[in-house]
Chain A
């Protein structure tokens, strides 16, 4: 019983209000997947943010106030994300950063909307920006933007007459798969194999057999980082000949690292990459590597640019006003000439969707090589 009491006090202490930050800082919490299934993406996202915050604070912060950006773990779990976003709202966040997994974005965005606090996040599921929420903003393409690009590439670049799809059965993979198959239907390209895989799956032998037997002209692989690498290794082992096509993740740095030689020859569309022939992106890649000792993937760029979006918009409106921030970012275009930290020109539409240039690339000798720059989609 004594322990019951003790634990209760311990818990009560844990819930005591956090002292509000001093006036000299501005509270911009980051909610991210730092453990659990989303840890690879969440950690990259966090480190991108750390880099930007350090740079901005070294130069005196935003409008004279330093950034106070605590990094809070969701454990990749919706009910925990819900609790933490509430805490950020209670602490009167100016803007909320994250999360990266769409499964945690969906429960948190309702709350930030009610509290009228802008949320700049890394989720790519199409559904996020289709709910008329004026406070949610993307840092990367939604699937409704990236899938048409990959579909065009399948038709015009690969000249595929049939395709196989391998996808991870979570909200990210299923959303991508649904959008992709719809785009294929529009272009009259039959999907001859539709293979669902598990998050955290280790053995892809039977999936590769299925894909191989389908004899498609091209194989579209849409899974998270670790699973992508495992699939590539198995595909190489079984000697798959058809081109393996991916969307950002499959050509990402993390996958190349994990898959090793098996990643060579992979092609596809890349939303964001430090290997793009854009000096600002390459510079960022080097800075990142120097600071954290590993090469970033697209999530690092997403996190980094998100902080600079806050800086630019706030300086533009000239005050820390959450509502005015959200209103101002809709329809705004930020150019690297105005804000170098944005790295590439980007435009946000009325739904919070982002538009910018993207790339077609392939993996050559263990390195991502960009072969073509695609123009803005023109949302």
Chain B
């Protein structure tokens, strides 16, 4: 029992230490990739709440990252300081996410997927065609990194810590939320909505909340994405990105707290690692994902849990066997 608890703790400590020491041995390009991983993981975490915990399929998470990113960039260029722009990005996505939740009250599963898919396309078209606001296909460039309390986060190492700090905050908030009555309400919504209703859970409100909170986390991720890449164009937030976020949640392990972190690692860092194979890297990446999904549909965390459980069982039988 002791050991079962110690192992994950030791791993967590090692990961945190490695990330903290990152700038000591990583170059700016690698720091950028890890920052991109952190930002993507936050976006996937939002989707994990909507999809993994509350069971509402959404193909709109990429669109919310886009809304958040554009909101932050546009507000910052109007002279709004980063913290205010960042909060506004989350708030706007909360409102829009709440509205998008209404169709979810009426349709479920793949029908809901189509509704959210249409929404993503709509957002893409708005970002592209409303040139007066978003600069259309030319995109927005020269987005500044934030300055907070007189401290500039312009350097890659500083912004790296900023993104990781944000990831830690969102991870903590998520951990708290899924243990709170809200989290339990989301989960019962996924498992059995009829029973949830009979138990007095306001399913209507919680469905809307699941969408709104998940979307606002996507918006916050967008708020970090804009100063990270320092260039925004509508194409980055088209349907492909939403699908990719969906993939991260499922590959990592939908409904597991750490699932999106692992999923984002697979999606952002694995293709980079495979680059040495030259022209084959995307092919190998796709093959790896397909094999993974065939043999462990619960995702990587699900698989790790299964292996851990099997090991534990073996150990128990081994100990009972000797006695």
Contact = CB atoms under 8 A, between A and B. Distances in A.
Contacts of A82: 32, 229-231
B28 A170 contact: no
A89 B29 contact: yes
B128 to A, nearest CB: 7
Contacts of B15: 4-5, 8
A79 B236 contact: yes
A35 B139 CA distance: 21
A170 B129 CA distance: 10
Contacts of B269: 7, 10-11, 14-15
Contacts of B137: 103, 169-171, 173-175
A103 B235 CA distance: 9
A1 B32 contact: no
A322 B272 CA distance: 27
B29 A4 contact: no
B136 interface: yes
Given A4-B262, A83-B36, A107 B30 contact: no
Interface residues of A, number: 43
A17 interface: yes
B32 A34 contact: no
Given A72-B275, A78-B233, A106 B33 contact: no
**Interface range for B:** 35 or more
Contacts of B308: 1-2
A320 to B, nearest CB: 21
B141 A2 contact: no
Contacts, number: 131
B231 A3 contact: no
A75 interface: yes
B167 to A, nearest CB: 14
B273 interface: yes
A58 interface: no
A89 B233 contact: no
Contact of A103 (B233, B262, B278, B307): B233
A83 B282 CA distance: 16
B258 interface: yes
Interface string B181-195: 000000000000000
Contact of B229 (A2, A13, A79, A90): A79
B266 A1 contact: no
Contacts of B142: 110
Given A10-B269, A73-B275, A107-B229, 13 more contacts: A1-B304, A4-B11, A7-B265, A14-B273, A15-B30, A78-B231, A78-B232, A78-B235, A83-B32, A103-B137, A110-B231, A171-B138, A174-B137
Across the A-B interface, the 4 shortest Cβ-Cβ residue pairs: A14-B273, A107-B231, A15-B30, A87-B29
Interface of B: 7-8, 11, 14-15, 18, 26-30, 32-34, 36, 128, 136-139, 141-142, 156, 225, 229-233, 235-236, 258, 261-262, 265-266, 269-270, 272-273, 275, 278-279, 281-282, 300-301, 303-304, 307-308
